Structure 1
């Protein structure tokens, strides 16, 4: 995702100081705030990848938020995606056996959890599959 910066002007006794703030630091819209609440609820129940959480929030079968609102909401959160991958890996291992490669593939697959390869590897290793 491309970083977008906005300029913010602040005046102190006739002197204007320009600061650069990331666009995501701007006030969230109401739909984005609601998407943040939904995202936090999902994260409290199970592990999600960044893309998996955006997909869940924006899916017609999920919450139905606009993709742009879901993306802003997820990117406004401070999430340890490695921890999310570990949580997801532990859940899979609690239900069935996986080889190290099989679990990494499941965690990183687009039709699976959609974690990055690095996050999936971390999760599988820390969960004890490797």
Structure 2
């Protein structure tokens, strides 16, 4: 097999997660190797995911926006597309932000309803 990578990938055995659909969908994976520019992800079952997604590696406190370069039934090769690593936030923070926005919208509706009602 021809190896077309530009840089060495160190072997790893890290638990990870891919997230997509505005982080509503998550799938657990195993990060089998990683370099500065990409990684190889392994899944327990065949997966069908979009071409771009978020990769979260909790043990390293890391998250990246990634693009799928190649795919097999249970394996993906991805390249990191985030230039500024702070652009992807941890999934629990994203969920908390979504929850707070929903609360804010609910309170705004309540204030509007109370303001419109006669005293």
- State the TM bucket, normalised to the shorter chain: under 0.3
The structure whose Rg is larger is: 2
Structure number with the bigger relative contact order (C-alpha 8 A, sep ≥ 6) is 1
TM-score by length of 2: 0.23
Query: Which structure dedicates a bigger proportion of its chain to helix?
Result: 1
Query: Which is richer in strand?
Result: 2
